[in-house]
């Protein structure tokens, strides 16, 4: 027999009520009646929401009982995840019910780190007064907004706010370089929208260190594609090779794990290219018709340029490649043969953090393999993402204050000089705040980011924070960064607020997700998007004029109208209904399911997403918008940028230097990765590799016990961080599994539990980014910065081990 | 030889028979319990044969024990009565 | 029958009549240990079994080890005394009572271990209300309650004449002794009833005792777990039980011999005989152990071998080799020649076996659990202060029960000693004669027809 | 009568633990905390085990999600002294928390270590829990129930709508969450069901098949091979 808790109380309440009546005590009977209402079967409603634990953007169904969230599952209609979820999603419940959440706004009381609760009115007026004051003094550019990991209209809103208010400093602080699209794709194909990988339709996948099945873009979407690759039913089992210094769970699932010296992925890619060319396994038709710079060529001025083919054959002999990468020649040949003979094959070169010192050319080298096998623009290859037909925003009418502020360069230097091509340069940011170059920062707004814990330059950030007189945090938690704030205006957690999501890594369709609040807010928190609108209104001027919406909900409703009016796409619905519509559409009929926009809006709110599974521009022309209208092995777009930079005085030279210097000649524009000289081990003989766990949500998830308790399965770990050491290496320093070890780099040292893991190169140790107890690898990472894109290099640090 | 006893004879005898009664109750209880277990196993069709099999050994053993106890009580106490 | 005025065995009544400082000190010390155990149990009851060192997968540890160990010790007793009685070994007379007391006391403690081990002791009655005979635990419950009943009866019946002596001789606790003596006057009928009852019990108690320890072993061998699923576990456990029982009995005898000055009753010869019995059991135990491990090793089944190597050279090697040392090497070395210093050697051997048999139970229970069939982490088990406390408390409680018993009843059967003097000598002589060839008319036995 | 079973395709499984966390959220399985976890007391009805290659110094070879295997011949139910665990007519091995005395015999008897014990009272009733599943007290054994409460709810719904239980209406939380769709749940006695078909795949095997426990969780091996 089934007795649910509530059912039981209901029964008990009924019995108590009866007993009270028999006794004739009216008051007690009323009390019992009250109990009965309290314990009555609650109203159960499923509300769609969007998981915000990672950039995957999976659709959720939140089970609510009288408005109280009591369970999560995947939204079965949502095209990204089709009802499935990853482990992180379930941590969302614990995030929502975290007992240490901030209960309302807080203001600094005395020194930093001490707080007193305040009301929303006071909090908002304090912030508005401060911002208005700076703006009035012509210092609007000295307000910096640091954003984190989120997408969609919250990003748009902040950007608009910054532009209307008059600060160029809306800076995204994230580990993953915030590129839209990947720079290598932009330079070689000229595309300006993100490309996506059609993993599920590929027959062979070669991945250079991308944690496909762990923390790469959207884990659920990729896992589903992986399952299709392996067992689609209609085709033979697809194969998949993982190049990675570590036998990650992805490598475990791969048919072949290719351990590689960290940072040499580009060299291996060129070695494979060499083998493909030498054995004539490349797609000759594609190369001939759709690429530029493969063979030697002569430019307009009559200068002879060496083509990709001869360059690779000359420079990347297999023996040299094998020596540099540690991958046997035989393996390189086998991979090349597999890659050249299996169609469609797909090469992935978007490892989350940077590959190493020459990251851009490494990515270009890897991407050139996709061109060699002709995997661009077809099924199982690289596809382009369609744009969502959302209603455009009205133009911002900037007043003088805003215009004046925007004339200033960005504090992090992005978009100028050496960071000419970077959209954000967070690694350089703290030093520039500290040095007040080119100007001091007077106010810092932190939204969805915690650089004091999660950024490799966290010490520099801590110092920089000390220099800023006014820091505002919108974090719902008192984390490292928000505890240094002067004012905290806590945001809702994602199950409590209106929000949207626009994911750009989807193969074959475009998707817009909408979430209304699934749970009644537990505390006195407010959706930061609403707060931004409120502040803008209070500030008035061009800020108020540009952000006229009362609530974020209104803003969203206005934007989404574009989807309704686009004349394509669907609000997601049951599979049967959907396939019927698609059959109709193929025959040329598209009809709207809804009579009015209100109906459309309501349906979107109860089903959770809109998508357009058809109408993708997959023609090769659309994919090749370079100057030559072809795939360019020789990136003439980059050449043009460099030429322009050289013509410009002052800042241009820094950019060219950062890229590698003009004396490299054509090598700057070719996917050329220099083979490094053999380095003596020196004082720090081991390399440090940090990686992202499947179980790590955005922000680290320290308030999500389920995830902290079972963070990984390849090692037995729980609650505290660890370092993975090859048994041989461990034996050399006399360390056994479970011992404490010191890991020491030039920057500092941390103590961690050792886990012996044979799945690694012996001279590489691996530390996960883990939100639980124990030291963070960020304390070790030497703050090497990618010289022209401004993000930290996470995997170039050298370390040594000591038994603790 | 005079009997050196401080307690009234009837009370002593009552206590002694009470001990015997206790033994009957205890072992009787165990037997009833075993039968209860068979009944439960039968009702739930939870391998009643096992219960019956075990009880076929267990019940006689307990009854024999009870027999010995009663034999001693009756034998010793009864003899004094006849003195 | 014995004359109550007979004062020869007055020494046996001293502990009951007089109480010295030593008694209070002992009781005090034991009470402290019991207090530790009680605090430990209260902590566990209040907070949960989490206060122990148990975990996933080692879900059984000290308590189950203690359960098997104590139930094993209980064989000391009744089984030995019954066998000696049935075989009419005359040297049994000063030993039987102590053996029987150990059995009863230790059975309570042993059964108690299972209750300590329960996660929900408040639901203990579920075993009675909803018990099911498919579970070996219920076999245990039945078998142990039968054994407990039988042991109490078997302790009580031969004590009746002694209680009568106490009733007549000791000034204290008159009512208790009068009631318990069941009006014993030593009449012929009474003696006949008594002797018959003792004889029946001695026969009855042996199969029950064997069943108890077989059933205890079935708790393990009925599962599918590596190194538990073994057909010889029943006899192996019974042998181990008798082995540890004898050892515990010897230790108890030596303690009371010293404490109550019973040198006159417990002579080296008794220890020599018991020592020889212990030696035989040690060899038998070794034989079983050898057979058990050889089959596992020879079969070389991967899951069994995990457990096997965990015991041989893995984390449990100190326990395993400690067990071999204390159960086999030390006792054999001590007991193989019992010429001089019999008592010392027997004492060392017995203490060694007591420790060794506890280790044996531990090495059976824990390594199997800590090496599961599926690839989990190996679970290493470290007991906490709670488990140590309950172990100490259990031993202390047993000792206290025993000491208190000796304050109420004679620890050596007075009437049996007297009977030995008065009847035994003659009887043995007569019996001995019947063993011998008839010297008067030596003649060959006629071959029976058809043989 | 239905015979509920599960097929886990190891070729699809990526060891991501979505099933593990889905199970915890669905069945109110507590996180036991750092101290308890270090002592080896994590409760994880669904657990992803890793098999290691012995010859390569212990490299992880494959992932093996392990729920309760719901044996048709369960070694755990036999040894329970109080009927707190039994195989119900539809093949689900049930656990009655209110009956369990915490002797842990079933844990010792289970060859798959699928049973877990509440060493302490790890949690109280709190918002966010699933009201369909009771919060276990200290001192009792718990384990995967194939989300039996979902069957009850589905059945009630079907009853209220006066129809038969539709296939696919009752699915466990782990199967529902699995991103690679490696877990398929259904009625093994229904020849039309996917589990019926997959259970007869040439890739199918059962854990510790030689023990004769006849698990109703069936695995499909990795690698080539049809099915």
Q: Which residue of B has its CA nearest to D87?
A: B46
Whether residue C1 has pLDDT greater than 50: no
D6, β-bridge pairs: D185, D217
Local confidence band at A457 (pLDDT 50, 70, 90 cut-offs): confident
Local confidence band at A174 (pLDDT 50, 70, 90 cut-offs): confident
Q: Residues C266, C270, C275, C280: is their CA dihedral positive or negative?
A: negative
Local confidence band at C139 (pLDDT 50, 70, 90 cut-offs): very high
Contact call for B50 and C200, based on CB within 8 A: no
Question: Which pLDDT score, from 0 to 100, does residue A4 have?
Answer: 44
Token digits for A463? Answer: 């110092």
**Three-state DSSP class for residue C277:** helix
Which position has the token pair 């307000």? A143
Closest CA to A123 of A544, A543, A479, A528: A528
Range A622-631 average pLDDT = 82
Whether residue C18 has pLDDT greater than 90: no
Range A107-121 average pLDDT = 93
Pairwise pLDDT comparison (A592 vs C78), residue with the higher score: A592
Q: Which of D37, D48, D58, D109 to mutate to test the interface with C (most CBs of C within 10 A)?
A: D109
Let me know if residue D227 belongs to a domain.
Answer: no
Whether residue A571 has pLDDT greater than 80: yes
User: B47 to chain C nearest CA, in Å?
Assistant: 7
Distance CA(C253)–CA(C273), nearest Å, equals 13
Contact call for B76 and C182, based on CB within 8 A: yes
Question: Which pLDDT score, from 0 to 100, does residue A584 have?
Answer: 82
Question: Which pLDDT score, from 0 to 100, does residue C428 have?
Answer: 84
Span C81-103, pLDDT tens digits = 888 888 888 888 899 999 999 99
Residue D94 at interface with chain B, using a CB cutoff of 8 Å: no
CB A77 within 8 A of CB A59: yes
The strands making up A499-502's β-sheet, listed across from edge to edge, are A499-502, A510-515, A609-612, A570-571
Going from N- to C-terminal start, the domains of chain A cover: 1-41, 106-177+390-612, 195-384, 636-669, 686-803
Whether residue D66 has pLDDT greater than 50: yes
Give the rounded percent of residues in chain C with a pLDDT score beyond 90: 63
CB A542 within 8 A of CB A402: yes
Neighbours of chain D (3+ CB pairs under 8 A): A, B, C
- What's A195-384's CATH class? alpha beta
Q: Which of D83, D84, D96, D99 to mutate to test the interface with B (most CBs of B within 10 A)?
A: D83
**Is beta strand A443-447 parallel, antiparallel or unpaired with respect to A143-147?**
parallel
Neighbours of chain C (3+ CB pairs under 8 A): B, D
Token digits for A719? Answer: 């609650």
User: B47 to chain D nearest CA, in Å?
Assistant: 10
Question: Which pLDDT score, from 0 to 100, does residue A1 have?
Answer: 39
Mean pLDDT of chain A: 87
**Three-state DSSP class for residue A242:** strand
Distance CA(C415)–CA(C438), nearest Å, equals 33
Contact call for D128 and A70, based on CB within 8 A: yes
Range D62-87 average pLDDT = 93
Span A629-662, pLDDT tens digits = 899 999 988 888 888 877 776 667 778 888 777 7
Residue B44 at interface with chain D, using a CB cutoff of 8 Å: yes
Span A386-425, pLDDT tens digits = 788 999 999 988 888 899 999 999 998 888 888 888 888 8
CB A227 within 8 A of CB A193: no
A802, β-bridge pairs: A742
Range A795-804 average pLDDT = 89
Question: Which pLDDT score, from 0 to 100, does residue D55 have?
Answer: 58
Distance CA(C366)–CA(C389), nearest Å, equals 19
**Is beta strand A570-571 parallel, antiparallel or unpaired with respect to A609-612?**
antiparallel
Distance CA(B25)–CA(B19), nearest Å, equals 10
Span A767-779, pLDDT tens digits = 998 888 888 888 8
Question: Which pLDDT score, from 0 to 100, does residue A699 have?
Answer: 80
Q: Which residue of C has its CA nearest to D37?
A: C55
- Which of C47, C56, C134 is nearest residue D41 as measured by Cβ atoms? C56
Q: Which residue of A has its CA nearest to D156?
A: A2
What is the phi/psi pair of residue C117, to 5°? -75, -15
- Which of A86, A713, A759 is nearest residue D179 as measured by Cβ atoms? A86
The DSSP secondary structure of A199-214, one letter per residue, reads GGG-SEEEEES--TTT
Whether residue A17 has pLDDT greater than 50: no
From chain B, pick out residues whose CB is under 8 angstroms from the CB of C189: 75, 79
Local confidence band at A346 (pLDDT 50, 70, 90 cut-offs): very high
Local confidence band at C135 (pLDDT 50, 70, 90 cut-offs): very high
Local confidence band at A486 (pLDDT 50, 70, 90 cut-offs): very high
Q: Which of C118, C119, C386 to mutate to test the interface with D (most CBs of D within 10 A)?
A: C119
Within 10 Å of residue A83's Cβ, how many Cβ atoms? 20
Local confidence band at A309 (pLDDT 50, 70, 90 cut-offs): very high
Which position has the token pair 């020889």? C276
- Which of D66, D81, D139 is nearest residue C127 as measured by Cβ atoms? D81
CATH 3.40.309.10 describes domain C11-420:
no
Q: Which residue of C has its CA nearest to D137?
A: C120
CB C367 within 8 A of CB C293: no
Whether residue A217 has pLDDT greater than 60: yes
Question: Which pLDDT score, from 0 to 100, does residue A31 have?
Answer: 65
Question: Which pLDDT score, from 0 to 100, does residue B5 have?
Answer: 47
Distance CA(A426)–CA(A411), nearest Å, equals 10
Go through chain B and tell me how many residues it has: 83
User: C129 to chain D nearest CA, in Å?
Assistant: 8
Report ipTM (2 d.p.): 0.90
CB A368 within 8 A of CB A633: yes
Range C157-177 average pLDDT = 88
Closest CA to C288 of C340, C237, C244, C212: C237
CB D227 within 8 A of CB D201: yes
Distance CA(A369)–CA(A348), nearest Å, equals 9
Instruction: Using a threshold of 3 CB pairs under 8 A, tell whether chains B and C touch.
Output: yes
For the CA atoms of A441, A446, A452, A455, the dihedral, rounded to the nearest 10 degrees, stands at: -100
From chain A, pick out residues whose CB is under 8 angstroms from the CB of D21: 87-91, 706-707
Span C245-288, pLDDT tens digits = 999 999 999 999 998 888 889 999 999 999 999 999 999 999 99
User: B25 to chain D nearest CA, in Å?
Assistant: 24
Range D95-118 average pLDDT = 94
Token digits for A154? Answer: 């919250």
Spell out the SS3 assignment of A657-697: HHHCCHHHHHHHCCCCCCCCCCCCCCCCCEEEEEEECCCCC
Distance CA(D198)–CA(B65), nearest Å, equals 59
Mean pLDDT of chain C: 89
Distance CA(A546)–CA(A469), nearest Å, equals 28
Whether residue B2 has pLDDT greater than 50: no
Contact call for D105 and C222, based on CB within 8 A: no
Question: Which pLDDT score, from 0 to 100, does residue A59 have?
Answer: 94
CB A93 within 8 A of CB A71: yes
Cis peptide before C182 (omega within 30 of 0): no
Q: Which of D102, D123, D207, D212 to mutate to test the interface with C (most CBs of C within 10 A)?
A: D102
Lowest mean pLDDT among A149-163, A362-376, A649-663, A704-718: A649-663
Whether residue A722 has pLDDT greater than 60: yes
Token digits for A758? Answer: 């044979």
Residue D125 at interface with chain A, using a CB cutoff of 8 Å: yes
A446, β-bridge pairs: A146, A473
Contact call for A227 and D173, based on CB within 8 A: no
- Helix pair angle (A552-565, A528-539), 10° resolution: 110
How many CB pairs lie under 8 A apart between chains C and D? Answer: 147
**Three-state DSSP class for residue C440:** coil
Span A74-96, pLDDT tens digits = 999 999 999 999 999 999 999 99
Would you identify the CATH topology of the domain A106-177+390-612? Rossmann fold (3.40.50)
Rounded to 5°, angle at Cα A701 from A488 and A530: 35
Contact call for C120 and D140, based on CB within 8 A: yes
CB A293 within 8 A of CB A632: yes
Q: Which region, left, alpha or beta, applies to residue C341 given φ > 0 means left and ψ of -120 to 50 means alpha? A: left
Whether residue A277 has pLDDT greater than 90: yes
Whether residue A221 has pLDDT greater than 70: yes
Q: What CATH architecture does domain A686-803 belong to? A: Beta Barrel (2.40)
Local confidence band at D198 (pLDDT 50, 70, 90 cut-offs): very high
CB B72 within 8 A of CB C193: yes
- Domain extent at residue D101: 4-220
Give the rounded percent of residues in chain A with a pLDDT score beyond 90: 54
Range B71-76 average pLDDT = 90
From chain D, pick out residues whose CB is under 8 angstroms from the CB of A759: 59-60
Distance CA(D5)–CA(D189), nearest Å, equals 9
Residues 6+ apart with CB under 8 A from C14: C260
Residues 6+ apart with CB under 8 A from C384: C51, C52, C53
Range A136-155 average pLDDT = 92
Whether residue A446 has pLDDT greater than 50: yes
A243, β-bridge pairs: A208, A258
Instruction: Using a threshold of 3 CB pairs under 8 A, tell whether chains B and A touch.
Output: no
Which position has the token pair 């007077």? A442
From chain C, pick out residues whose CB is under 8 angstroms from the CB of B14: none
**Three-state DSSP class for residue B82:** coil
- Which of C120, C136, C141 is nearest residue D102 as measured by Cβ atoms? C120
Q: What is the CA radius of gyration of chain D?
A: 18
Question: Which pLDDT score, from 0 to 100, does residue A574 have?
Answer: 85
Instruction: Using a threshold of 3 CB pairs under 8 A, tell whether chains D and A touch.
Output: yes
CB D195 within 8 A of CB D146: no
Local confidence band at A526 (pLDDT 50, 70, 90 cut-offs): very high
Distance CA(A724)–CA(A722), nearest Å, equals 7
Whether residue C314 has pLDDT greater than 50: yes
Question: Which pLDDT score, from 0 to 100, does residue A792 have?
Answer: 79
Local confidence band at B1 (pLDDT 50, 70, 90 cut-offs): very low
Q: Which of C154, C178, C188, C218 to mutate to test the interface with B (most CBs of B within 10 A)?
A: C178
A304, β-bridge pairs: A298
Tell me the CATH number at D134: 3.30.70.20
Range D101-117 average pLDDT = 94
Question: Which pLDDT score, from 0 to 100, does residue A37 have?
Answer: 63
Q: Which residue of D has its CA nearest to B50?
A: D78
Mean pLDDT of chain D: 91
Question: Which pLDDT score, from 0 to 100, does residue A301 have?
Answer: 87
Which DSSP category does A455 fall into?
Answer: S
Distance CA(C220)–CA(C225), nearest Å, equals 8
Within 10 Å of residue C115's Cβ, how many Cβ atoms? 15
Question: Which pLDDT score, from 0 to 100, does residue C14 have?
Answer: 80
Q: Which of C46, C118, C120 to mutate to test the interface with D (most CBs of D within 10 A)?
A: C120
Which position has the token pair 């299972």? C114
Residue C308 C-alpha from the chain's centroid: 28
From chain D, pick out residues whose CB is under 8 angstroms from the CB of C59: 104, 107-108, 117
- Which of D50, D104, D208 is nearest residue C60 as measured by Cβ atoms? D104
Distance CA(A792)–CA(D23), nearest Å, equals 38
User: B30 to chain D nearest CA, in Å?
Assistant: 16
Which DSSP category does A291 fall into?
Answer: E
Which DSSP category does D212 fall into?
Answer: -
């Amino acid at each position: 027999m089934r007795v649910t808790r509530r059912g039981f109380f209901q029964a008990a309440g009924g019995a108590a009520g009866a007993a009270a009546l028999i006794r004739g005590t009216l008051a007690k009977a009323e009390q019992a009646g009250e109990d009965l209402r309290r314990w009555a079967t609650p109203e159960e409603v499923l509300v769609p929401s969007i998981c915000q634990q990672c950039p995957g953007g999976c659709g959720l169904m939140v089970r609510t009982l009288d408005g109280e969230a009591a369970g999560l599952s995947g939204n079965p209609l949502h095209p990204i995840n089709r009802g499935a979820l990853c482990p992180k999603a379930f941590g969302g419940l614990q995030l929502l019910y975290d007992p240490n959440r901030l209960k309302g706004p807080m203001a600094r009381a005395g020194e930093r780190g001490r707080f007193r609760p305040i009301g929303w009115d006071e909090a908002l007026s304090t912030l508005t007064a401060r911002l208005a004051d700076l703006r009035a003094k012509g210092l609007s550019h000295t307000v910096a907004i640091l954003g984190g990991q989120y997408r969609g209209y919250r990003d748009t809103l902040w950007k608009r706010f910054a532009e209307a208010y008059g600060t160029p400093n809306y800076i995204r602080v994230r580990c993953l370089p915030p590129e839209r699209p990947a720079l290598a794709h932009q330079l070689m194909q000229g595309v300006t929208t993100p490309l996506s990988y059609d993993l599920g339709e590929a027959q062979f996948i070669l991945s250079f260190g991308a944690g496909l099945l762990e923390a790469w873009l959207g884990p659920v979407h990729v896992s589903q594609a992986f399952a299709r690759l392996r067992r689609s039913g209609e085709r033979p089992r697809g194969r998949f090779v993982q190049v990675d210094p570590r036998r990650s769970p992805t490598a475990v699932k791969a048919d072949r794990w290719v351990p590689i010296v960290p940072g040499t992925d580009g060299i291996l890619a060129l070695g494979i290219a060499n083998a493909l060319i030498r054995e004539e396994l490349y797609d000759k038709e594609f190369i001939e018709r759709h690429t530029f710079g493969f063979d030697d060529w002569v430019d307009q001025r009559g200068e002879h340029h060496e083509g990709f083919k001869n360059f690779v054959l000359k420079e990347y002999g297999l023996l040299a490649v094998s020596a540099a990468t540690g991958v046997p020649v035989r393996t390189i040949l086998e991979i090349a043969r597999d890659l050249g003979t299996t169609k469609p094959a797909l090469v992935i070169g978007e490892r989350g953090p940077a590959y190493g010192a020459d990251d851009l050319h490494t990515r270009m080298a890897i991407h050139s393999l996709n061109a060699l096998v002709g995997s661009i623009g077809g099924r199982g290859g690289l596809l382009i993402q369609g744009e969502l037909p959302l209603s455009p925003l009205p133009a911002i009418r900037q007043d003088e204050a805003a215009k004046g502020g925007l004339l200033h360069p960005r504090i992090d230097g992005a978009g100028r000089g050496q960071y000419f091509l970077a959209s954000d340069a967070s690694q350089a940011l703290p030093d520039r705040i500290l040095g007040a170059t080119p100007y001091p920062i007077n106010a810092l707004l932190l939204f969805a980011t915690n650089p004091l814990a999660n950024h490799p330059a966290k010490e520099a950030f801590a110092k920089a924070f000390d220099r800023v007189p006014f820091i505002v945090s919108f974090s719902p938690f008192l984390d490292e960064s928000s505890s240094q704030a002067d004012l905290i205006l806590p945001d809702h957690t994602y199950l409590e607020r209106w929000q949207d999501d626009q994911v750009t890594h989807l193969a074959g369709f475009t998707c817009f997700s909408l979430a209304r609040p699934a749970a009644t807010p537990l505390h006195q928190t407010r959706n930061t998007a609403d707060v931004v609108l409120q502040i803008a209104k209070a500030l008035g001027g061009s800020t108020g004029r540009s952000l006229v919406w009362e609530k974020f909900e209104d803003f969203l409703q206005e934007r989404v109208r574009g989807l309704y009016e686009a004349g394509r796409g669907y609000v997601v619905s049951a599979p049967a209904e959907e396939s019927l519509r698609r059959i109709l559409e193929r025959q040329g009929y598209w009809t709207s399911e809804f009579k009015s926009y209100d109906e459309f809006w309501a349906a979107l709110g109860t089903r959770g997403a809109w998508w357009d599974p058809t109408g993708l521009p997959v023609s090769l022309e659309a994919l090749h918008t370079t100057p030559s209208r072809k795939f360019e092995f020789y990136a003439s777009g980059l050449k043009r940028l460099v030429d322009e930079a050289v013509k410009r005085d002052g800042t241009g030279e820094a950019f060219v230097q950062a890229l590698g210097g003009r004396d490299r000649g054509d090598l700057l524009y070719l996917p050329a990765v220099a083979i490094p000289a053999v380095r003596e081990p020196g004082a720090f003989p081991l390399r440090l590799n940090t990686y992202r766990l499947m179980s790590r949500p955005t922000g680290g998830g320290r308030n999500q016990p389920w995830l902290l308790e079972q963070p990984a399965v390849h090692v037995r770990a729980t609650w505290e961080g660890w370092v993975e050491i090859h048994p041989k290496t461990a034996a050399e320093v006399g360390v056994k599994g479970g011992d404490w070890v010191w890991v020491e780099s030039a920057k500092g040292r941390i103590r961690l539990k050792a886990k012996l893991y044979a799945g690694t190169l012996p001279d590489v140790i691996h530390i996960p980014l883990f939100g639980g107890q124990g030291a963070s690898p960020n304390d070790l990472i030497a703050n090497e910065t990618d010289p022209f894109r401004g993000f930290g290099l996470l995997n170039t640090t050298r370390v040594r081990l000591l038994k603790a | 030889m005079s009997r050196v006893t401080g307690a009234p004879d009837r009370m002593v005898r009552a206590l002694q028979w009470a001990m015997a009664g206790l033994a009957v109750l205890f072992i009787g209880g165990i037997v009833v319990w075993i039968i209860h277990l068979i009944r439960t196993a039968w009702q739930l069709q939870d391998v009643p044969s096992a219960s019956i099999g075990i009880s076929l050994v267990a019940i006689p053993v307990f009854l024999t024990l009870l027999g010995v106890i009663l034999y001693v009580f009756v034998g010793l106490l009864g003899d004094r009565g006849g003195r | 029958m014995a004359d109550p005025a007979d004062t020869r065995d007055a020494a046996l009544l001293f502990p009951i009549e007089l109480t010295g400082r030593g008694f209070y000190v002992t009781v005090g010390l034991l009470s402290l240990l019991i207090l530790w155990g009680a605090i430990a149990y209260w902590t566990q009851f209040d907070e949960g079994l989490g206060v122990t060192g148990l975990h996933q997968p080692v879900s059984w540890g000290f308590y189950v080890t203690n359960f098997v160990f104590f139930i094993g010790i209980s064989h000391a007793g009744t089984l030995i005394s019954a066998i000696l009685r049935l075989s009419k070994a005359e040297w049994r007379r000063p030993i039987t009572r102590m053996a029987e007391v150990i059995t009863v006391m230790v059975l309570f403690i042993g059964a108690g271990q299972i209750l300590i081990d329960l996660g929900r002791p408040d639901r203990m009655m579920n075993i009675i209300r909803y018990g099911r005979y498919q579970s070996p635990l219920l076999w245990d419950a039945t078998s142990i309650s039968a054994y407990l009943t039988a042991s109490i009866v078997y302790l009580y019946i031969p004590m009746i004449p002694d209680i009568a002596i106490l009733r007549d001789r000791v000034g204290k606790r008159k009512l208790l002794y009068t009631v318990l003596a069941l009006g014993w006057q030593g009449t012929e009928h009474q003696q006949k009833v008594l002797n018959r009852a003792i004889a029946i019990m001695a026969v009855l108690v042996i199969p029950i005792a064997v069943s108890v320890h077989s059933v205890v072993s079935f708790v393990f061998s009925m599962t599918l777990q590596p190194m538990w699923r073994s057909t010889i576990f029943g006899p192996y456990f019974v042998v181990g039980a008798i082995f540890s029982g004898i050892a515990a009995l010897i230790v108890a005898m030596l303690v009371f011999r010293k404490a109550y000055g019973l040198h006159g009753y417990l002579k080296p010869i008794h220890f020599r005989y018991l020592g020889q019995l212990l030696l035989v059991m040690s060899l038998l135990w070794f034989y079983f152990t050898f057979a058990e491990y050889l089959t596992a090793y020879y079969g070389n089944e991967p899951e069994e071998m995990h457990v096997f190597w965990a015991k041989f050279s893995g984390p449990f090697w100190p326990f395993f080799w400690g067990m071999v040392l204390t159960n086999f090497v030390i006792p054999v070395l001590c007991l193989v020649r019992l010429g001089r210093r019999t008592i010392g050697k027997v004492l060392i051997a017995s203490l060694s076996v007591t420790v060794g048999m506890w280790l044996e139970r531990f090495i059976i229970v824990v390594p199997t659990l800590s090496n599961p069939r599926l690839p989990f982490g190996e679970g290493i088990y470290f007991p906490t202060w709670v488990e140590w406390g309950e172990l100490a408390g259990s031993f202390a409680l047993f000792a206290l029960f025993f000491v208190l018993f000796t304050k109420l009843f004679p620890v050596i059967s007075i009437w049996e000693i007297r009977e030995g003097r008065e009847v035994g000598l003659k009887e043995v002589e007569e019996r001995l004669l019947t063993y011998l060839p008839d010297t008067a008319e030596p003649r060959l036995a006629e071959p029976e027809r058809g043989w | 009568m239905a015979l509920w079973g599960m097929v886990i395709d190891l070729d699809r499984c990526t060891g991501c633990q979505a099933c593990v966390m889905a199970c915890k959220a669905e069945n109110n399985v507590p996180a036991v905390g750092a101290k308890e976890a270090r002592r080896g007391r994590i409760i994880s009805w669904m657990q992803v085990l890793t098999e290691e290659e012995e010859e390569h110094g212990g490299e992880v070879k494959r992932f093996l999600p392990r729920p309760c295997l719901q044996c048709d011949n369960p070694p755990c139910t036999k040894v329970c002294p109080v009927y707190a665990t039994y195989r119900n007519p539809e093949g689900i091995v049930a656990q009655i928390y209110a009956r369990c005395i915490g002797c842990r015999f079933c844990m010792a008897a289970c060859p798959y270590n699928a049973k877990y014990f509440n060493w302490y009272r790890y949690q109280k009733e709190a918002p966010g829990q699933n009201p369909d599943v009771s919060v276990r007290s200290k001192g009792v054994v718990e384990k995967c129930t194939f989300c039996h409460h979902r069957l009850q709810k589905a059945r009630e719904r079907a009853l209220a709508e006066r129809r038969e239980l539709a296939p696919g209406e009752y699915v466990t939380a782990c199967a529902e969450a699995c991103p690679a769709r490696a877990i398929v749940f259904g009625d093994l006695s229904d020849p039309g069901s996917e589990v019926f078909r997959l259970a007869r795949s040439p890739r199918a095997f059962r854990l510790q098949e030689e023990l004769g426990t006849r698990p109703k969780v069936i695995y499909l091996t990795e690698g080539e091979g049809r099915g």
